[in-house]
Structure formats: C-alpha cells, structure tokens
Amino acid sequence: MHRRDFRAATAAASVLGRQALAQTPPALTPHHGGTLTMILQPEPAILNLGINQQTAVAIVATKITQSLLRYDVDLSPMPSLAKAWEVSSDGLT
C-alpha cells in the first residue's frame, strides 16, 4: 500500500468513526435493583469464604452471606446484622 492510499484509508476510517460516535444514544441512567449476570473464572468449587479465599469465591460468597459487622475506610467496625455490641474491659471479648 502506498503512503497516499494509507492516508486516504486512515482519513476515511476516522470520519466513519466520528459519525458512529455521533449516532450512539446517550448513556442510560443507572438505577438500583435488577439482575447482574456474569461469568466467573475459575468457577468457584466451594462457596465457603472461610475455607477458600479466591477472588471468584469472594465475589459470590459475599452476596450470599452477610457478616455481623462491616468496616469503614479506617477499619472501624460499623453495624451490619449486629445492631449493638460490647467490648470487655480487657479487650479480649
């Protein structure tokens, strides 16, 4: 291919690309709820996060079970299922 032909093809592709982008509909507004369907590789062999900590298991298992507490960015405990808790004076219980 000659340089002149390459430049013409590149210019045509650029024009077609811009036209395609101009015709795409605006992004949909996100909404809460619905169903997410996705593929996980490798497929989790077990869904017990206490036994298997692979990423695929963590993604699925955290949607099935819920812990008593959750943690903020400073790792301070916040209520999840537990609404209140007490810490013993020695900090062990």
CA distance 76 to 69: 10
Which residue do the tokens 């405990």 mark?
77
Whether 67 and 81 have beta carbons less than 8 Å apart is answered as: yes
For residue 44, being part of any structural domain is answered with yes
pLDDT, tens digit (0-9, with 9 covering 90-100), for 55-72: 888 888 878 888 899 899
pLDDT, tens digit (0-9, with 9 covering 90-100), for 11-41: 666 666 666 656 656 667 777 787 878 888 8
For residue 46, being part of any structural domain is answered with yes
* Structural domains of the chain, count: 1
For residue 68, being part of any structural domain is answered with yes
For residue 27, being part of any structural domain is answered with no
For residue 92, being part of any structural domain is answered with no
For residue 58, being part of any structural domain is answered with yes
The predicted model gives 7-12 an average pLDDT of 69
Say what the pLDDT of residue 46 is.
Answer: 85
Q: What range does the domain containing 63 cover?
A: 36-81
For residue 1, being part of any structural domain is answered with no
